[in-house]
Amino acid sequence: MQRSWIAFEGDINPNSIAIPITDPPLDTDGDQLAYGLMASSRPPFTVYSAFLDPQGDASDLNLLQGEGALRYVDERYVFSTLEKLENPSASGTQIDIRPSTCDLKGSGRFSLPLNFQLVDQSFVGTFEINARGDYVFKGSYRLDISLDQGLYDRMALQIPSWEPAEPANIIETNYEQALQEWLGAKTSQKLINDLALTGELKNIPKSMRQSLVLTGLEMIWDSDLEEFTSTSEFVIASMGDAPVFQKIPAKLILRRSRSKDSFTIYLHGDEENWYLLKYAKPELQCSSPDKVLLSQIADIKPKKREQKNKAGERFTYGFVNSYRWRNNLVDDYRDFD
């Protein structure tokens, strides 16, 4: 990492030094500085780390937008608001580095460099760089997929009956923090209180009733395949307005592409019980041995499955009877033997 002089205006208290950081950060020559995790906007698609260093290219994307001031705390430089520094569970972003080791990490709501058009997505969690140099992400992920609620209900009914499924311990995840980022403190606290008192998630807000929410998720950035890939089982928190809260073997793949970004979600019970959702804009295809689910999709008229916006972007969904995608995925990752 290169050393840079940071441009700023403001008064500095020598007894509590906090250097205000502009948005975007600039050096004394007016050039933009990069911080946290950055991603190229053009192929080849890369991810790189920075801490107020010269930005690689003017078009590069910041994955974790920060605000606040730069402080030196416990042998680390920390970029965050004072509220976030004093209360790590508060909303907002924190990025910090230990200068002696260049150990960089961060937390907050990420803007992953993916364009799924009418399928919105959001990741809340942390990143760090492990001993192998991998970028590791841990947290909760939300995909707003406009499926008929009956389809979500069918999957939510079946998944808890699968042999490897087990009730999730939400305390072990950052689900509460993710809700706070997505919904705000007041609405999220009500949901968390319901969950703590009854063990159920009641009255899912309208803004999340088309969402597939995953938590307890760990992903790495695979620079060779240009994709974010989950590394282990994770928790299905909710599917539309149906709570699930089951931890199962699964795989999430978020792929950047020169033509169309895509995602794959594979949920595994056994050879006879699984769901695969594969999306490449504008179409989501479902594959499963669950004939009831496939029949439900077939019964929905094509116009009811389709969405359009004024910009001409489309979303639609259907199903395939072939198991080829699923078999290839299982062969490639060998996580489901």
pLDDT tens string 163-187? 999 999 998 999 999 999 999 988 8
- Which residue from 262, 248, 257, 281 is spatially nearest to 325, judged by alpha carbons? 262
User: How does pLDDT run across 15-24, given as a tens digit for each residue?
Assistant: 889 999 988 8
CB atoms within 10 A of CB 120: 12
User: How does pLDDT run across 105-126, given as a tens digit for each residue?
Assistant: 999 999 999 999 999 999 999 9
What span, in angstroms and rounded, lies between the C-alpha atoms of 143 and 145?
Answer: 6
- Contact between 66 and 93 under an 8 Å Cβ cutoff? The reply is yes
| pLDDT above 70: residue 161 | yes
pLDDT bracket for residue 197 (50, 70, 90)? confident
- Contact between 193 and 206 under an 8 Å Cβ cutoff? The reply is no
Compare 273 and 4 and report the one with higher pLDDT. Answer: 273
Q: According to the model, what pLDDT value does residue 2 have?
A: 59
**Mean of all residue pLDDT scores within the chain:** 93
Tokens of 108: 């907050």
Q: Taking the complete model, does pTM exceed 0.85, yes or no?
A: yes
The residues facing 34 across adjacent strands are 53
User: How does pLDDT run across 86-104, given as a tens digit for each residue?
Assistant: 998 889 999 999 988 889 9
Contacts of the segment 121-124: beta carbons below 8 A, 24+ positions apart: 121/254, 121/263, 122/181, 122/182, 124/174, 124/177, 124/178, 124/181, 124/182
- Which residue from 246, 240, 249 is spatially nearest to 269, judged by alpha carbons? 249
φ, ψ for residue 25, nearest 5 deg: -65, 145
- Which residue from 254, 246, 186, 195 is spatially nearest to 219, judged by alpha carbons? 254
Q: According to the model, what pLDDT value does residue 15 have?
A: 84
Q: According to the model, what pLDDT value does residue 315 have?
A: 97
| pLDDT above 70: residue 1 | no
Q: According to the model, what pLDDT value does residue 158 have?
A: 98
What span, in angstroms and rounded, lies between the C-alpha atoms of 123 and 102?
Answer: 25
Give the whole-number percent of the chain exceeding pLDDT 90: 81
Q: According to the model, what pLDDT value does residue 190 have?
A: 86
Every domain of the chain and the residues it spans: 1-95, 140-333
DSSP 3-state percent helix, strand, coil across the chain (nearest 5) = 20, 40, 40
Look at the chain and count its residues.
Answer: 337
- Contact between 99 and 193 under an 8 Å Cβ cutoff? The reply is no
Q: According to the model, what pLDDT value does residue 199 have?
A: 67
| pLDDT above 90: residue 228 | yes
pLDDT bracket for residue 300 (50, 70, 90)? very high
Q: According to the model, what pLDDT value does residue 337 have?
A: 72
| pLDDT above 90: residue 40 | yes
| pLDDT above 90: residue 127 | yes
| pLDDT above 90: residue 194 | no
